[in-house]
């Protein structure tokens, strides 16, 4: 079988502090478009790749994380949508569309096929399977419904609310009849939260000198549910506004990922006095709920009750800057890298 060229994004080396696109580089290798004899692997053509905040942790060496660090000199990997070109696995056939873990390259030989999910519904954008119909969607669903146990009329706050997960949490809360406030880092994103996603209120956290006073302004009666994507000073300020028996789902801490010394919390006493439940979670613990989630979300998408905003960048050459842009808030919505459209 003839080999073809395969453009790849390579991780250069472990990062301290704020990463840059110079921490990755583009190269071209070759790959045989054939699965090795007797292998259980699948060979795929990658279509869409997902840029996600958790990938920053993988750029630092650690042996204690829930997911391994990237290997210097190796191809980056993450969630993607791909088309099967050849399969040694009985669960997948040539022509199948799948989503799951794949390489940041044009073609990948995937040996860990247990991470893959076959795509059966194709009358929605395929890129949705690394967003609203993929890991971010499941994250929003599990964190909000399973951990926060929301009730109609409750007061809900979402940080990093215009991102891949936050935009969904806010819309789920509105569908349930909650009062929802979101924060983001630009006027454009704040307008998006109110005018497209239907949040009751939204604010630019960069314009607020006193986060405590800001939260008191938007939540004079306190917060029932906080969906935390940022951690740090925002989480500390929220602890002072929580209502009795409030719930906090700790999804991410993007404000801390590039700090050499993470910020501490000073308002933890409120967890006791307000009997607040704080729970961190990993979405992989909830993938058994994926069929149930799909039953809920697909009708909402098709009926226009839930909308999803993507920030799309074309080509593997631009993938490094797309990933780095997450940490300065450059993206508006779910960051997607288009490798090929078919």
Tens digit of pLDDT for each residue in 237-283? Answer: 999 999 999 999 999 988 887 777 889 899 999 999 999 999 999 99
User: What are phi and psi for residue 46, nearest 5 degrees?
Assistant: -75, 135
- Residue 204 has a pLDDT of 98
What's the pLDDT tens digit per position in 99-119?
999 999 999 999 999 989 999
Instruction: Return the closest-CA partner of residue 71 out of 84, 62, 79, 80.
Output: 62
Mean pLDDT of 274-294: 97
- Residue 1 has a pLDDT of 59
Asked whether the beta carbons of 215 and 223 are under 8 A apart, the reply is yes
Rounded CA Rg of the chain: 21
What's the pLDDT tens digit per position in 199-252?
999 999 999 999 999 999 999 999 999 999 999 999 999 999 999 999 999 999
Phi-psi region of 38 (alpha: psi -120 to 50; beta: other; left: phi over 0): left
Angle at which helix 211-218 crosses helix 232-239, to 10 degrees, equals 50
Confidence of residue 44 (pLDDT cuts 50, 70, 90): very high
User: What are phi and psi for residue 190, nearest 5 degrees?
Assistant: -60, -45
- Residue 276 has a pLDDT of 98
Q: Does pLDDT of 306 surpass 70?
A: yes
How many other CB atoms are there within 10 angstroms of residue 328's CB atom?
Answer: 10
In sequence order, the 6+-apart residues with CB closer than 8 A to the CB of 27 are 7, 8, 10
Q: How far apart are CA 216 and CA 209, in angstroms?
A: 13
Q: Does pLDDT of 64 surpass 70?
A: no
Sole residue written with tokens 């910020």: 263
In sequence order, the 6+-apart residues with CB closer than 8 A to the CB of 220 are none
- Residue 260 has a pLDDT of 78
- Looking at 59-68, 157-166, 239-248, 258-267, which range is the least confident one? 59-68
Mean pLDDT of 21-25: 93
Q: How far apart are CA 186 and CA 330, in angstroms?
A: 10
Asked whether the beta carbons of 236 and 266 are under 8 A apart, the reply is yes
CA separation, residue 249 to residues 10, 75, 253 (Å): 34, 32, 11
């Amino acid at each position: 079988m003839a080999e073809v060229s395969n453009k790849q994004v390579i991780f250069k080396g472990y990062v301290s502090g704020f990463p840059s696109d110079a921490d990755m580089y583009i190269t071209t290798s070759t790959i045989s478009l054939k699965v090795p004899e007797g292998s259980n692997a699948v060979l795929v053509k990658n279509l869409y790749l997902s840029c996600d905040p958790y990938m920053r942790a993988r750029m630092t060496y650690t042996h204690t994380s829930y997911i391994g660090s990237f290997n210097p000199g190796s191809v980056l990997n993450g969630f993607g949508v791909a088309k099967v070109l050849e399969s040694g696995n009985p669960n997948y056939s040539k022509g199948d569309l799948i989503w799951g873990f794949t390489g940041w390259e044009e073609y990948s030989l995937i040996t860990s096929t247990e991470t893959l999910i076959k795509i059966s519904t194709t009358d929605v954008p395929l890129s949705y399977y690394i967003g609203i119909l993929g890991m971010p969607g499941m994250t929003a669903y599990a964190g909000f419904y399973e951990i926060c146990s929301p009730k109609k009329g409750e007061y809900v706050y979402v940080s990093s609310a215009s991102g891949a997960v936050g935009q969904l949490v806010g819309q789920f809360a509105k569908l349930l009849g909650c009062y929802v406030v979101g924060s983001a880092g630009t006027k454009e994103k704040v307008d998006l939260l109110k005018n497209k996603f239907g949040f009751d209120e939204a604010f630019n956290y960069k314009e607020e000198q006193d986060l405590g006073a800001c939260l008191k302004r938007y939540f004079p009666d306190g917060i029932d549910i906080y969906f935390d994507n940022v951690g740090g000073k925002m989480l500390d300020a929220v602890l002072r506004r929580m209502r009795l028996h409030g719930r906090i789902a700790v999804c991410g801490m993007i404000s801390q990922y590039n700090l050499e010394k993470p910020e501490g919390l000073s308002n933890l006493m409120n967890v006791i006095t307000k009997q607040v439940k704080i729970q961190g979670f990993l979405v992989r613990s909830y993938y058994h709920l994926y069929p149930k989630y799909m039953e809920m979300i697909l009708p909402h998408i098709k009926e226009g009750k839930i909308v999803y905003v993507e920030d799309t960048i074309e080509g593997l050459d631009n993938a490094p800057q797309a990933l780095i842009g997450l940490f300065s808030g450059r993206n508006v919505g779910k960051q997607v890298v288009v490798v090929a459209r078919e």
